[in-house]
Amino acid sequence: MDNTVQDPATGDPDGDDRELLLEYLRHNNPPCPVCGYCLRELTHDVCPECGQRFRLTVGSVKPQFGMLLLCMVPMIMVSGLALLFAALVVDKGLPQREVWGLWAILICGVVDVVACVALYRARGWFFRASVGVQAAILMSSWLVHAGLVLASFMYGVR
């Protein structure tokens, strides 16, 4: 998503952001993130050494993606298992025995791909949720998928 704000007076895509950047550089001593050149008192938003253009932005010190990734791990594992089963069905054909576990894994694998993409796209909502809600989603994801895989292998083949 492009968060650039266009200055209505100049049509400049960065508008006031450039002034804020230059003001920041008048009082601070950051290195160019590309070449390391000292940017103090720069009068343009371009590095004189490497030509890299800058903008002032807010960055996270240490992004915390662990809980989100841990929620996605069982979804990705079941999707991988479904892909393996799908490849076996394509190669060997449908099994002769009643195998609801196979179909459960295949269907859940497809659902998990969609759920994984949806969770990633809704990550803003996820990160704004309390740690308790995140932990509940995490535990639910693992319990549902572990239960599905165990039940499929233990009882899903007759």
- Chain residues in the site for Zn ion (CB under 5 A): 32, 34-35, 37, 47, 49-50, 52
Beta-carbon contacts of 106 under 8 Å, excluding residues fewer than 6 positions away, are 82, 85, 86, 89
Considering the complex, what minimum distance in angstroms separates the CB of residue 46 from Zn ion?
9
CB-side exposure of 99: number of CA atoms within 13 Å?
A: 13
**Rounded least distance, CB 63 to Zn ion, Å:** 24
8-state DSSP, 130? -
Contacts of 111 (CB under 8 A, 6+ apart): none
Q: From the CB of 54, what's the least distance to Zn ion, in Å?
A: 9
Cβ distance to Zn ion smaller for residue 19 or 49: 49
- Nearer to Zn ion by Cβ, of 50 and 146: the residue is 50
Burial of 74 (0-12, 13-18, 19+ CB in 10 A): buried
Nearer to Zn ion, 47 or 138 (CB): 47
> Minimum distance from CB of 37 to Zn ion (Å)?
5
Give the shortest CB-2-to-Zn ion separation in angstroms. Answer: 23
Q: Considering the complex, state which of residue 57 and residue 96 has its C-beta at the smaller distance from Zn ion.
A: 57
Q: Which CB atom, from 15 or from 52, has the smaller least distance to Zn ion? A: 52
**How many angstroms separate the CA atoms of 6 and 23, rounded?**
19
